[in-house]
Structures are given as structure tokens and as C-alpha cells.
């Protein structure tokens, strides 16, 4: 996209994003934000509500979460679009709003970064479709079309306006991850893809693939970085990462949840503290991670602690 088409704010954001991405894919270390959904629940949003729709009805609430992560030191913020594909939104009667919700998700994140003058990237968040592809509930073509529809909206306008890169995350099967990658390569072939699987208690992907098999396959399919997110907390992600390192030379991503939630005084609480998460940063980096961040249950306090841990590692 020609620079003449950008506003001054967009040019600044595009330059900052380019710097962050260059560092990430050159083997440097980059910090991603933390959870969106659990942060929204803590703000009084019902657990039964469609979080993605809040991009339209409560944009200021979503923007507030982004702002807290940026202020805590995040260099990549994810759009509030994890479930904003046609198949998931259809359950909420929102299938026709796929484009509107995803466009709004990028616009909110981009607007906060520009307002704060943050040197940060906006990652378009793409989660699973919510149906059993491997069980034959939908066909490969339908899955790819659903991903492509969402990706087109997230990427509209190109980097600096649309998403700067895509996070295909919490994938439960290599078949579904593969269709998401194929969709992205079909509609935005030049956009960087970070593709992350989720790992079960047995240390395998939920379709039975080993971590090293997943890393090798995602590399073959055209991911730009691979890794593990969510799962059973930082220890499980670390184990998966150590096995992935031997199967790919791509940058690795480690974005665990804060453990599994427990009910405390009538509310679900995640038990891995910011200090504990920060302690894992060194171990993630030693295992080869270039991208670190948090998933479910993490907060800006986790991000701030991880930022300090990275600074310490880098001698800052």
C-alpha cells in the first residue's frame, strides 16, 4: 500500500508495527498482551454473552482492555475477534455481522494504539470454528470459506490500517489449522501468520498429534511462526515448546493461560500469579520462544511482570 494513502497517525503506527515484526521474525523477543474474555467478565460482562459483539455495543469497554495492556508494555495486541467467524456467530444470531464485528475489532485496537502513541502491532485474532471438522460436521471447503470471510475483514486496508499480522490460535486439530492457513494464504498471501495449537494433559494436541508433529506440519503448510497457547498453563506450554523446537526453525510462540480456573467465593479464579508467569519467561526464551504473552486468566499485571522479565533477560 502506498504511503500517500495513510494519515500521519497510520504512517506512525505502520512504522512501529514494521519495527516490532522485524524484531520478532529476526529472532528477537516480543511481548504480546493477555486475556480479553476473562478481562471482560471481570468488568461485569456475562459469561454467556458473545464477547465479539461487544465491538459494536460496548467498544469503549474493549478499548479499555487494550489500553491497559499497552500501558503494561504489550507490543502486540490482539483484536477482540477470537470467535468472530460465521459458524460461531450464527449461534448468537449474528452471522450476517461477521464483517462488521471484525472490522470494528481492528478499528478499536488500532485506535487505542494510535491514541496512546504505542509502538505496537495489531494482530487479528482467529480462533477455532467451534464445530468438529475432524468429525465431519462440516466440510473442508466450508471451513476454509468461514476462515477466509473473517480474515478478509480483519485484513481490510492492509497492515497499518487492517491487522498487521494474524494469530490463528487455540487450534485443536491440524486439519482445522491447515484450513485457516490455506484461507489466509488465499486472500492475504503476504500477511504474517502466527499459528498456535492448544495442548492437552497428555502433552499432545487434542487431535492426538504430538507437539513436534504439529510444528513440522504447520511449518510445511506455510506458517511464519508456530507455538502453543492456552492449554494447562505455562508448564504445559513450556513442555510443548521444548519439543517443537526440534521440529522447526520458525520463531516460536508461548502464550499460556494462567492455569485452570478454580471457584473462589463464587467466581472462577486463575491461580498462576504475575510473578509465577514472569518466572516462566526466562524458561520460554531458553526453549527458543521469540513471542511470549498470556491467554485466559492473565491480566495487565501479568503483562507488566513479563515485560520486566524480558528487560532483565535483555540487560535492560
The pLDDT value recorded for residue 178 is 97
- pLDDT band for position 2 (cuts 50, 70, 90): very low
* Dist CA 34 CA 32 (whole Å): 7
- pLDDT band for position 265 (cuts 50, 70, 90): low
pLDDT in tens, 124-161: 999 999 887 666 678 889 999 999 999 999 999 999 99
Report CA-CA distances (Å) from 61 to 18, 37, 48, 159: 28, 11, 17, 24
Task: Decide: 199 and 211 in contact? Cβ < 8 Å.
Answer: yes
pTM of the model: 0.93
Domains and CATH numbers, the chain: 3-21+29-313 (3.20.20.330)
What does pLDDT average to over the chain?
Answer: 92
Q: Which residue has the higher pLDDT, 18 or 198?
A: 198
Nearest to 126 by CA among 76, 171, 158, 186: 171
* Sheet bearing 289-292, strands edge to edge: 30-31, 289-292, 252-256, 225-230, 192-197, 165-171, 121-126, 76-78
- pLDDT band for position 168 (cuts 50, 70, 90): very high
Quick check: 199 pLDDT over 80? yes
Amino acid at each position: 500500500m502506498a504511503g500517500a494513502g495513510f494519515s500521519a497517525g497510520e504512517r506512525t503506527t505502520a512504522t512501529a508495527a514494521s519495527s516490532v515484526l522485524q524484531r520478532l521474525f529476526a529472532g528477537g523477543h516480543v511481548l504480546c498482551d493477555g486475556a480479553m474474555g476473562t478481562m471482560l467478565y471481570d468488568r461485569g460482562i456475562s459469561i454467556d454473552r458473545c464477547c465479539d459483539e461487544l465491538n459494536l455495543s460496548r467498544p469503549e469497554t474493549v478499548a479499555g482492555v487494550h489500553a491497559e495492556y499497552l500501558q503494561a508494555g504489550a507490543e502486540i495486541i490482539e483484536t477482540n475477534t477470537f470467535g468472530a467467524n460465521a459458524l460461531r456467530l450464527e449461534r448468537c444470531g449474528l452471522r450476517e455481522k461477521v464483517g462488521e464485528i471484525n472490522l470494528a475489532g481492528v478499528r478499536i485496537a488500532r485506535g487505542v494504539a494510535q491514541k496512546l502513541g504505542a509502538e505496537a502491532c495489531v494482530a487479528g485474532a482467529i480462533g477455532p470454528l467451534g464445530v468438529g471438522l475432524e468429525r465431519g460436521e462440516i466440510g473442508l471447503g466450508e471451513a476454509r470459506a468461514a476462515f477466509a470471510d473473517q480474515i478478509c475483514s480483519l485484513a481490510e486496508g492492509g497492515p497499518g490500517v487492517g491487522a498487521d499480522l494474524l494469530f490463528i490460535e487455540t487450534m485443536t486439530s491440524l486439519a482445522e489449522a491447515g484450513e485457516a492457513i490455506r484461507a489466509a494464504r488465499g486472500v492475504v498471501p503476504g500477511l504474517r501468520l502466527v499459528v498456535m495449537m492448544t495442548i492437552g494433559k497428555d502433552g499432545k494436541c487434542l487431535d492426538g498429534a504430538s507437539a513436534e508433529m504439529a510444528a513440522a506440519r504447520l511449518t510445511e503448510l506455510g506458517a511464519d511462526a508456530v507455538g502453543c497457547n492456552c492449554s494447562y498453563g505455562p508448564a504445559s506450554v513450556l513442555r510443548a515448546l521444548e519439543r517443537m523446537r526440534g521440529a522447526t526453525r520458525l520463531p516460536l510462540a508461548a502464550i499460556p493461560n494462567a492455569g485452570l480456573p478454580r471457584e473462589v467465593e463464587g467466581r472462577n479464579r486463575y491461580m498462576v500469579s504475575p510473578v509465577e508467569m514472569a518466572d516462566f519467561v526466562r524458561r520460554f526464551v531458553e526453549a527458543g520462544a521469540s513471542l511470549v504473552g498470556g491467554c485466559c486468566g492473565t491480566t495487565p499485571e501479568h503483562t507488566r511482570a513479563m515485560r520486566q522479565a524480558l528487560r532483565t533477560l535483555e540487560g535492560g
